[in-house]
Amino acid sequence: MCGKAAVSHLKWKDVYAWATSLTPDSAFPPDPASRINISPSRLRRKSEPDSMVWETLPTIFADGDIERPTEAIWPFLPYWSRGQLPRNKNGKLISTANARLRHSGSAFAPSYMGAWSKNSRVLIPVSWFYEFDSRVRPQIPYAVLPLHAPFWLLCGLGSWFTTEDGAKKLSVSIITVEPNEVLKSVGHHRSPAILRNQDEAVQWLRAPKQEALELLRPFPEESMGVEKIPMGIKIPGNEDIEMPGYFIRN
């Protein structure tokens, strides 16, 4: 799965300069805030709705003839959740940070099929993401790094909702697929769906569904690196972490 990500000095102009198949608007919005520990939105205290911490990820969606950058709430908020974290009929929170690709029946779980049927696909650029070795206790965290690209472009699904003050906002889920051998080596059983090259960016956003599905596959091992990092990354919102030198970006 992909439960944490980093956005380190990511600039929209650099994303579009690399993903040249995308058509930008005449001006970019402010660049995403630089953070190394982004978790899905959450309640600090589950019994207190006012303790909500809303988190966002940089996101690109198709809008007319252009591919528009924005900040989207993470995780995915289905239309029926009315702009709140989704809960089941018993009131328990449902995890929608990741949308697992299915290989029989519907492509995704019912919560995501409305977005899939409407072609509400999004791109989520992140500097790196984190996985945790589930074979040991406590789980060891690893950063998963692009070796031959400046950042990852993750495939996602989006859901639009209207806030109480009438603003229209986007929420997203990161699609997950089978892991490659690199991720298996650190004890992980799922992987974000990662695009392999610049041309696939516009294909994911605009291609017919069957063509888009073909982009959802494990990423090549030779272009992915992993590095063990401090346990402090497990604390949601903790940015006071001494990362290895590779991760220092200007």
Half-sphere exposure of 31 (CA within 13 A, CB side): 14
- With pLDDT > 90 as the criterion, what percentage of the chain qualifies? 85
- In the numeric block, the tokens 């579009």 are attached to 16
CATH class of 4-234: alpha beta
Predicted confidence at residue 81, as pLDDT, reads: 92
Under a CB-based contact definition with an 8 Å cutoff, are residues 46 and 155 in contact? no
Under a CB-based contact definition with an 8 Å cutoff, are residues 76 and 159 in contact? yes
Predicted confidence at residue 250, as pLDDT, reads: 46
Tokens (6 digits) for 168: 């229209």
| Over residues 203-228, mean pLDDT | 97
- For the chain, the average pLDDT equals 93
Under a CB-based contact definition with an 8 Å cutoff, are residues 179 and 193 in contact? no
- Note the pLDDT tens digit of each residue in 59-72: 999 999 999 999 99
- Give the separation between CA 224 and CA 154, rounded to whole angstroms: 14
What ranges do the domains of the chain cover?
A: 4-234
Half-sphere exposure of 108 (CA within 13 A, CB side): 24
Under a CB-based contact definition with an 8 Å cutoff, are residues 206 and 122 in contact? no
At 166, the pLDDT band (50, 70, 90 cuts) reads confident
Strand 168-177 and strand 191-192: pairing? antiparallel
- Note the pLDDT tens digit of each residue in 93-119: 999 999 999 999 999 999 999 999 999
Predicted confidence at residue 9, as pLDDT, reads: 93
Tokens (6 digits) for 178: 């089978």
| pLDDT exceeds 50 at position 55 | yes
Distances from the Cα of 82 to the Cαs of 44, 114, 159, 160, 180, in angstroms? Answer: 20, 15, 11, 10, 36
Which has more pLDDT, 3 or 193? 193
